[in-house]
Chain A
Amino acid sequence: MFERDFIIANERFPKLKYSWHAKSKMWVISGELDICDTVGVYWGTFQIIMLVPRSYPYCVPIVIEKSQIIPRDIDWHISPEGICCLDADHELIAMSQKGININDFITDKVYTYFANQIYKLQGKQYAGAEYAHHTAGVIQYYVERLNMPSAEATLQALKNILCKKGLGRNDKCPCGSGLKLKKCHKASIETIKTFGFSKVQKDIQDIEKYLLPLRKHKID
């Protein structure tokens, strides 16, 4: 399946090639990614590597920038080793649960990420929005993408999911709106469920840790 999908991706990204890495059981896509704008003007080329687990299409490929064009700085959303943080983990996990298509993934996530890096290199800022780092970014994801009203409401929803309680269609929505779940955050809850037990558990821990000083400050 991967090989078939890659043939289509290769039409659009002809300077990428793939090989199977038996030891790590991954497909390794490597090569150049040329970035052009909407009128076809060329802006730059990145040397990249993509690691695609054999569970493809149910996976999140890891993208590494090898050309060292992007400054290795937290504010450029790239690790010191060049691993690119294309999107919120949760968004990528949700995508992987549905199954990705490598052509769409490169088009929608990888190409846009690198176009955005060029935009920032040239214009000193990103073209669109970005997530805050670490836990603040996780909360931002829940609020912006899943429409949770606040960090507290997110925490409550996550706890309900972890304990599998209060998730009936006619139960009150954990966001605190007073509405029934089916008329409120039903879809968001279903998305969160796909993240898996450990991710939800970690988010609860991280968000609680994040909120602790804020709560203390409130009490004081």
Chain B
Amino acid sequence: MHIFDDYLKPIRAAIAADPKSGKLYENLSYAERNLQKGMDFKAFNQQVPEKRLLPSLADFARELGLVPNFDQRLGLHPDFSHLKHSEGLEEHYIVSMFVDIKGSTLLFKKYTPRTVWIITNTIQRAAIHTCLIFGGYVHRLQGDGLFVYFGGKDIKPELSVKRSLQFASVFTYFVKEDLKNIFIEQGIENIYTRIGIDLGYDQDVIWGMAGIGEISEVTTCSLHTSLASKMQSYAVSNGVVVGDHIKDQSLAFAEYYTPVCHRTKSENDRYIFQIPEERFNYTQYDFNWLSFLKKQDFIATDLAGNLQLKQQAVVVSNRNLANLAPIASASKPYYRFEKK
């Protein structure tokens, strides 16, 4: 899709310049060498700015007609920030998502800590940037991963669910396809994601301040936030597991959900949570994010089966009719219809 091409560059450069395993050090530009050698934050920030999408991702945002809101603070969802240092509580729906990025520990076998720092931070920034494009709110950073909310006062649950699924699909594709290629070239084990998502309705979610003084955050107390975290641990490598409410709120995508127990062949895995006396049985589903992604309006699948960004909102530099000719020239149309 090339959405994250510009995020791959610093990772490639860092790997190539790594004194432990890099072979291409001499071929790197002065700026790229600095990224490894000097390893100051400034150099990294130049490569992957905090509050600016890199061009390939910016094109993607334009394609979707979405603008990221960089004006966020951890642990302080803008729609509930008034609850900070207050005794107020609020009931409001929210989509909770846990994005776990696994396998980064293995990077220490092959690279210096500085290289690992660049790789993991670039991936995390790519995740944050993508999340912001889809209107997500990064509530907390968890190791290399994220705890994200989708939803708020001015957005309906249905759209929040759709956006969360779009983010999960796009980011998983990046990790599964784009990053995989880099690490395969390096002959090391892959980095992969596991994502859990769930929706709590108004009556399921309490918003309020947790902690004391400045050791605090405005957060949710909800079964469904807890379940999202739990479901993430049920996901396969590069998999997404979602709860019943997510499915109910996105019935148009019902074909992409399969109960987790179908995969594990264990009926015990059907429900992620049960209250037998209330006959409350909450099902967890594997979400077929790739099929979902293929059907998005902004995605086209080429003849080789690769996903491509449509890029209707930007000028495509390599758009050349000559590249269409090999496919088009295989057609030889005829006309047989008589005039009525």
Contact = CB atoms under 8 A, between A and B. Distances in A.
B310 interface: yes
A12 B334 contact: no
Given A40-B308, A42-B311, A116 B329 contact: yes
> Chain A: interface secondary structure?
mixed
Interface in A29-46: 34-43, 45
A62 to B, nearest CB: 12
Nearest to B293: A14
Contact of A113 (B305, B318, B333): B333
Interface string A71-95: 0001001110001111111000000
Nearest to B255: A17
Contacts of B333: 77, 84-87, 113, 116, 126, 130-131
Contacts of B304: 40
B324 A87 contact: no
A207 B335 CA distance: 16
Interface string B302-340: 111110111110001011110111111111111111100
B162 interface: no
A24 interface: no
A40 B319 CA distance: 10
B334 A115 contact: no
B279 interface: no
Interface residues of A, number: 49
Residue among B312, B320, B329, B338 facing the most chain A CB atoms (10 A cut-off): B329
A182 interface: no
Given A36-B300, A41-B319, A42-B308, A119 B335 contact: no
Contacts of A109: 331
Interface string A39-68: 111110100000000000000000000000
A123 B322 CA distance: 10
A133 B339 CA distance: 12
Given A42-B300, A77-B333, A127 B308 contact: no
Given A15-B295, A118-B328, A134 B309 contact: no
B334 A127 contact: no
B291 interface: yes
Contact of B327 (A13, A112, A129, A130): A112
B110 interface: no
A79 B324 CA distance: 24
A206 to B, nearest CB: 10
Contacts of A45: 300
A111 interface: yes
Given A41-B319, A115-B331, A89 B336 contact: yes
B325 A112 contact: no
B69 interface: no
A128 interface: yes
B301 interface: yes
A74 B331 contact: no
A198 interface: no
Contacts of B305: 11-12
Contact of B323 (A37, A86, A88, A108): A37
Residue among A14, A78, A131 facing the most chain B CB atoms (10 A cut-off): A14
A151 to B, nearest CB: 16
B180 interface: no
A101 to B, nearest CB: 15
A168 interface: no
Nearest to B332: A129
B337 A112 contact: no
Contacts of B337: 74, 79, 83, 85
A94 to B, nearest CB: 14
B12 interface: no
A131 B330 contact: no
A122 B301 CA distance: 21
A118 B324 contact: yes
A115 B324 contact: yes
A99 interface: no
Given A12-B301, A34-B301, A42-B300, A133 B328 contact: no
Instruction: Sort A-B residue pairs by CB-CB distance and give the 7 closest, nearest first.
Output: A128-B329, A77-B333, A34-B300, A127-B328, A36-B302, A14-B294, A131-B334
Given A74-B335, A119-B321, A141-B334, 5 more contacts: A37-B324, A38-B324, A79-B337, A111-B303, A131-B332
Interface of A: 11-15, 34-43, 45, 74, 77-79, 83-89, 107-109, 111-113, 115-116, 118-119, 122-123, 126-131, 133-134, 137, 141
